[in-house]
Structures are given as structure tokens and as C-alpha cells.
Amino acid sequence: MALLQVNYMSQALWRIVPLQVILPADKADTEGNLLPMRKYKTLYLLGGMHGSQNDWVVNTRIRLWAEERNLAVVMPAGENSFYVDQEDDHRRYGEFIGRELVEITRRMFPLSDKREDTFIGGLSMGGFGALRAGFKYSDTFSAVISLSGALHVFEEDAENGAKIRDESWAFGRRIFGPAETAIKSDNNPRALLDALGKDGKKNLPKVFMACGTEDFLLPGNHSLSKALGEYGLDLTYIEAPGSHNWFFWDTWIKEALEWLPLEEKSAGMDSGNIARKISG
């Protein structure tokens, strides 16, 4: 499994941006023969607040599990953006992950350009960003994974109509603008879905959501999952023991990969199974 660090000039952000990419192009069988070339199914995997493009590789076993299933994984830096297009010039993070990142990585690497092979996921802030991008760019993504999604941004008082208390909106205002306009914009997953109408919802990606029962973000996840069910989406929603930490995300990203339509598990020739070759 190749682990690559990429730096390229982003047109959406108008600067050089870093990526981590897991690519199974060097995978060999136990005889040392490289597997045939193919275009890989791809997961665009987003990080949380205060994190970087390295977090998933450092804190979970995503590299091992991606290799098992011949899955490419692309991990950008979120930079506390919530992965939305902000009013400031060249801070178009929504366009960056929903369109540009997919296009540029397909030019760089042997990635499938089929919707059914293209997925997006994330944790916390990235879980929010994955849902928003999956709905807005539904022609690109066929499945969305949201782990402990930071959905409280718009779900603070969702049981009463997803209203936002403006006095608690200081952080949200910097990212999303005034509460009264933000809640009606396509940065709000509920508003985005409402704008699609009945026919538009037919082509939405399927969704996997998981949140810990001790997680402070559980109410927002519970609230939005209920709404997604009412919208008629293909939804798998799980509340399981755990908090807002890497122990939970390491466990549930593995379960999410099992949920995705990936290849059957297969071992490759690497340091983890070299003993097979020696003993054989």
C-alpha cells in the first residue's frame, strides 16, 4: 500500500494545499507479483476541527483496511472550515472537496470516475462536511459516512424546527454568516434537502451515521438522522458506546468500510504478512 503526500495548487483555495493519499497501486500477491492495474474505488475522508491531513493515518488503521479492500483514500486538510464556501475570497472549501479535489485526484491517480465507486466520509467537522458535500454534489458521491458529525451547528434546537439561537452563534457567524440566512442556505443539510424537492431526493447517496452514546454531539446526530429517515434516504444510523475520540472513530470507520460496496478482503505482500511468504 503506497502512502503518498501530495501538494498541489488549488484553484478553489488559490494556494498550495496538502493531501495524504492511500493508493493500493503497489499491492502484490504473496509471490511478489504486482496485481493488475485497475481504476480504484475511492473514499474522500475528511478530518475534524484542529486537525490535519495526517490525522486519519496517524490515529486509525485506515491504511490496513483500505489495502485489504483495494480502496484508495484521499485525505485533505479541513483547516476549521466546516468544508463550506465562505464569503472571503478563495475560501471555497465546499467546492474544493465536492468538485475540485475529485477532479484533480482523478487526473493524478488511477481512480474510478464512476459515481458508484466514489464515496465521501469524515469525523466531527468532517462528518458534517461529508453530509453537506454528499447532498450538494450527489451526482459525484454514491455513499456518505458521518462519524460523530458536528451537526449541532444547525441542529441546536432542531426538535423545534432547527432554529438557531443567534446569541450563541458567534463561531457559526464567522463560518456561515448570520444565523437567519445560514439556516436557509445550502450549507444547512436540511435546507439543502428541502430545496431538492421529491424528485431530487431520488438520486441522493446512501448514508452511514454513527455517534457515541457519551458524545456531546449525540443530540444533533439523533435529530438529523430522524429527519433523514423522514426524507426517505437510504440511512444506516447507529448509536453505540463511546465518546468523541479516536477510539470510537477507529472502530467505526472499519464498520463503515464493511458497509461500503467494496471488493472482498484480500491480503497483499507487505510487512504485515511477510511471514506467509517465508513459511511457504
C-alpha 122/C-alpha 253 separation (Å) is: 9
Per mean pLDDT, which range of 156-170, 207-221, 244-258 is the poorest? 156-170
| 23 half-sphere exposure, CB direction, 13 A CA radius | 20
- Model confidence, pTM: 0.90
Beta bridge partners of 237: 209
pLDDT digits (tens, 9 = 90+) for 38-85: 899 999 999 988 888 989 999 999 999 999 999 999 999 988 889 999
Cell of 271: 510487512
CB-based burial label for 5 (10 Å; 0-12, 13-18, 19+) = exposed
Cell of 146: 458521518
**DSSP for 121-168, written as a single string:** EEETHHHHHHHHHHHHTTTT-SEEEEES--THHHHTBGGGTSB--GGG
C-alpha 192/C-alpha 224 separation (Å) is: 13
pLDDT digits (tens, 9 = 90+) for 172-209: 777 887 777 888 889 999 888 888 876 677 789 999 99
Residue 86 confidence (pLDDT): 81
Residues in the chain: 280
CATH number at residue 116: 3.40.50.1820
C-alpha 144/C-alpha 179 separation (Å) is: 26
C-alpha 34/C-alpha 19 separation (Å) is: 25
Number of domains in the chain: 1
pLDDT digits (tens, 9 = 90+) for 230-279: 889 999 999 999 999 999 999 999 999 999 999 887 766 565 554 444 34
pLDDT, mean of residues 6-28: 92
Range of the structural domain that residue 268 is part of: 2-279
Task: Give the pLDDT band of residue 280 (cuts 50, 70, 90).
Answer: very low
